[in-house]
Amino acid sequence: MKMYKYILESVNNINWMAIIPLVIFFVFFVLMFIHVIRTEKSHIEKMSKLPLTNDL
Amino acid sequence: MNQLNMSNIDHFKYDNSIVRKFAFATMIFGVVGMLVGLLIALQLIFPALNFDSPYTTFGRLRPLHTNAVIFAFVGNGIFMGVYYSLPRLLKTPMFSKLLSNIHFWGWQSIILAAAITLPLGFTSSHEYAELEWPIDIAIAIVWIIFGINMFGTILKRREKHLYVAIWFYIATWATVTILHIFNNLEVPVSLVKSYPVFAGVQDALVQWWYGHNAVAFFLTTPYLGLMYYFLPKAANRPVYSYRLSIIHFWALIFIYIWAGPHHLLYTSLPDWAQSLGMVFSLMLIAPSWGGMLNGLLTLRGAWDKVRTDPVLKFLVVAVTAYGMSTFEGPMMAIKSFNAITHYTDWTIAHVHVAALGWNGMLTFGVLYWLIPRLYGSKLYSVKLANIHFWLATLAILFYAIPLYWGGVTQQLMWKQFTPDGFLKYPNFLETVTQIIPMYSIRAFGGFMFFSGLFVMMYNLFKTMSKSSFISEEAASAPPLPKKYVSPKGGHWHRVLERKSILLTLLSVIAVSIGGLMEIVPMVWLDSNTPKISTVEPYTPLELEGRDLYIREGCVGCHSQMIRPFRSETVRYGEYSKSGEFIYDRPFLWGSKRTGPDLHRIGEKYSNSWHYNHMLDPQSMSPGSIMPAYAWMLYDDLDTTQIAEKIRVLQLLGTPYPTDFDKKALSNLKAQALEIADDLKSSGIEQERLEDKEIVALIAYLQRLGTDISKPSINK
């Protein structure tokens, strides 16, 4: 039972609304991933120790 | 360190008293929120515990429970963690002590206002955003004060780079601001009543975009920030993978915002939005589990500590519960699975694994770690903390398992047909009484969790009483160089870690894309929501009746959304269509069926049936767990605002005739008289029956879902 068929019929080619978010996210994720991998190790280590540097 | 450097060191003090204030508040409101939760759990077993008073019925107390736990218990827990970790990560005191205190007292006043107004029945009916408009404005002001204090601290920091916990705090602040504003766009009728600017399907989408992301950005991201700070602290080792935490952050905040429509599967929401919500919900498993594994793997090689340190025990169960509920959530977002779990107690079990497990256990872990440090002492009793740990952990199982069982049992009973094609359990009540034993075990689980809280409070107060509070903690750090020289080949993300405003902006963009892409088409679709020619605005009396339905919180137990399943159309009638809701401000689709769906209740029973049912539900449906609403039979309907209500609705686009506001009262009285006469003809003897609230409620219930079966009028 496609109860909302009649909504879609009144708006043509609405599927792009569901596709675009996936494309945006994919591009965003790939770029972020590449950059994270390329971050230098020394910096990563320094950052990860930040909570521990001012112990009581 | 040599002499030269020493002279360059700044000395300053961290304010512990604000941390302690929020810690006390989270404990106190933990007790309040869970006590109300326990009461409403018991009301489902013993309806007498509704005490026949409007102020203590399930419908009004349920939002009090959810608001108290989310915004008072967890909210104060967030602020406790932020006010402790933020200055220490940035090596600077908070920006302003005054703002910290305004934030604290402002937030507690809002909680007090909620605790007064919700039992009085002042509600906008949007789940987890029930508070009426003046309180919404107060929340916005206090939230902005918190923001100024947080960004002020960030701007005067002595540590150039922002640790990942702070990104989570920033994303929390920015997103909650956006969510709060958009979901509370409403036009006031009076100081305690307003109508939302969106109606029907649009209102539903905006509400669940909010509801879902309130879970994401109030219950999840700030607590992830706390996890990334307090877990390494408690284990005394850095987080397993800082790289993973960056991916976790960006993927999580980007994906979360899209997943809201999974709360509206099989409803009248357009198909594309439902599919989008489902796909993004499934994708959400990846970053959520990335975060969980990052937390658990931080303890690699330190599991022996988990055996002895209660703090780590609480944190491990919290992170594991986070993993379980973020796996379960996406599963529940799959349409075929959702068809089974939705509207049942499965949802209640799911949210409690998250609330008790993730938020509760993490809060307890942080409190056990923090309080001894604020007092420069050791925890009074590790043994008591361990008892609390086992009480709480077992309590979650006692709470959740019966509700999973009950949820599935009930849904299967709803869907079962006899070989002849009839519903096997046509009486909804049979499916309720069947699972009441499960409600009893759940209440026991809730009681266990609640008692654990007292074990903790006793332990922590003993810890506090044996030493004195360190209200200000001295610290020192070198100041930041005035001009930052970027190392050669510096990385883009290092720029983000330095520039908080840029980071905020990018977070806002990441979360806004999702919101805009979902909501703009829906608002734009307004003209495309198929109008059904026979669907008309509510009459003044029905409108008042609807507002009573909202006041009593009927939506807490009754949905108004019949899904397109045979089991539902046979039980309730024609499935619900989006065009039927265009005058519904707010929408009242509901999210749980403790009682049956009411969308097609109109004209199903006589007026006198409703009258007697409200007076004593058990007399009409023996064994019913619905509370009685006797006061609606005796209280006069307040009609003083009807003209203003009509004017506000006209302003929002409801097509009442011109000058209808002036005729509304006489129209209302005429319809009330008709219903009162009908009740009298059924043998109900009562003075001035036409002036009572019950008449308005009956008018509304009898109208529900009947418009589509009216003969269509050719214009």
**For residue B691, what is the domain's CATH number?**
1.10.760.10
Instruction: Kindly state whether residue B695 falls inside one of the protein's structural domains.
Output: yes
* B152 shares its domain with B233: yes
Tell whether B133 and B266 lie within a shared domain. yes
Contacts of A1 in chain B (CB under 8 A): 564, 575
Chain B residues in contact with A51 by the CB 8 A cut-off are 85, 88-89, 163, 165, 228-229, 232-233, 238
pLDDT given at position A22: 77
Per-residue pLDDT, B703: 97
Domain-located, residue B715: no
Domain assignment present for B367: yes
What digits encode the pLDDT tens for the residues B622-668? 999 999 999 999 999 999 999 999 999 999 999 999 999 999 999 99
What is the reported pLDDT for B274? 83
Same-domain pairing of B346 and B429? yes
Sign of CA dihedral B17, B23, B24, B26: positive
The whole-chain average pLDDT of chain B stands at 92
Which range (B352-366, B429-443, B471-485, B604-618) has the least confidence? B471-485
Same domain assignment for residues B463 and B611: no
Whether residue B656 sits in one domain with residue B619: yes
Q: Is the pLDDT of residue B495 over 90?
A: no
Can you spell out the DSSP letters for B464-484?
HHTS----EEEEEEPPPPSS-
CA distances from residue B581 to B168, B519, B532, B561, B659 in whole angstroms, order as listed: 37, 17, 10, 10, 24
pLDDT digits (tens, 9 = 90+) for B109-146: 999 999 999 999 999 999 999 999 999 999 999 999 99
Name B205's bridge partners.
none
pLDDT of residue B651: 96
Q: Which has the higher per-residue pLDDT, A15 or B19?
A: B19
Residues 6+ apart with CB under 8 A from B408: B340, B341, B344, B346
At B680, which amino acid appears?
K
Contacts of A44 (CB under 8 A, 6+ apart): B242, B243
Q: What CATH number is associated with residue B510?
A: 1.20.210.10
Q: Containing domain of residue B555, as a range? A: 540-709
Question: What's the angle, vertex CA B559, arms to CA B122 and CA B49, rounded to 5?
Answer: 60
**A28 lies within 8 A of chain B by CB:** yes
Q: Which residue of chain A comes nearest to B269, CA vs CA?
A: A4
Predicted confidence at residue B490, as pLDDT, reads: 53
- How many Cα atoms within 13 Å fall on the side-chain side of residue B279? 14
Q: Tokens 């218990």 belong to which residue?
A: B73
Residue B680 lies in a domain: yes
Does B460 lie in the same domain as B394?
A: yes
Same-domain pairing of B464 and B569? no
Instruction: Round to whole Å and give the CA distance between B453 and B385.
Output: 10
List, for residues B681-710, the tens digit of each pLDDT value.
999 999 999 999 999 999 999 999 999 988
The torsion defined by the Cα of B371, B373, B374 and B379, in degrees rounded to 10, comes to: 40
Cβ of A3 within 8 Å of Cβ of B564? The answer is yes
pLDDT value of residue B2: 44
Same domain? B125 vs B270? yes
Phi, psi of B714 (to 5 degrees): -80, 120
Residues B444 and B364 in one domain: yes
* pLDDT for B325: 95
* pLDDT of amino acid B126: 94
Picking from B85, B159, B272 by the largest number of A CB atoms within 10 A of its own CB, the best residue to mutate is B272
Residue B523 forms part of a structural domain: no
Pairwise CA distance, residues B237 & B313, whole Å: 16
Is B403 within 8 Å of B442 (Cβ atoms)? yes
For residues B498 and B558, what is the distance between their CA atoms, to the nearest angstrom? 50
Does residue B479 have a cis peptide bond before it, meaning omega lies within 30 degrees of 0?
A: no
Task: List the structure tokens of B635.
Answer: 């209280």
B514 contacts in chain A (CB < 8 Å) = 21
Domain membership flag for residue B41: yes
CA distance B200 to B180: 19
A41–chain B Cβ distance below 8 A for any pair: no
Q: Based on the fold, state whether residues B474 and B597 are members of the same structural domain.
A: no
**pTM greater than 0.90:** yes
- The domain tally of chain B equals 2
Q: What is the pLDDT of residues B510-561, one digit of tens each?
A: 778 777 777 776 666 655 567 888 999 999 999 999 999 999 999 999 999 9
Which residues does B342 contact at the CB level (< 8 Å), separation at least 6? B265, B266, B332, B591
Backbone torsions φ then ψ of B656, nearest 5 degrees: -75, 150
CA angle B650, B651, B652 (to 5 degrees): 90
Per-residue pLDDT at B284 = 93
In a domain, B484, yes or no: no
Tell me what the mean pLDDT of segment A39-48 comes to: 91
Do B581 and B506 have their domain in common?
A: no
B246 and A32 within 8 Å at the Cβ level: the answer is yes
Looking at residue B173, its pLDDT comes to 95
CA B521 to chain centre: 25
pLDDT digits (tens, 9 = 90+) for B182-210: 889 999 999 999 999 999 888 998 898 89
Based on the fold, state whether residues B589 and B441 are members of the same structural domain.
no
Nearest to B432 by CA among B44, B704, B12, B703: B44
Does the residue B1 lie in any domain? no
Higher pLDDT, B303 or A24: B303
Least Cα separation, residue A22 to chain B (angstroms): 8
State percent of chain B over pLDDT 70.
95
How many CB pairs lie under 8 A apart between chains A and B? 121
Give the residue-averaged pLDDT of B472-501: 72
Q: Which pLDDT band, with edges at 50, 70 and 90, does B1 fall under? A: very low
Residue among B264, B366, B473, B493 with most chain A CBs within 10 A, to mutate: B493
- As a whole number of angstroms, the distance between CA B448 and CA B352 comes to 14
Tell how strand B10-15 and strand B472-477 pair up.
antiparallel
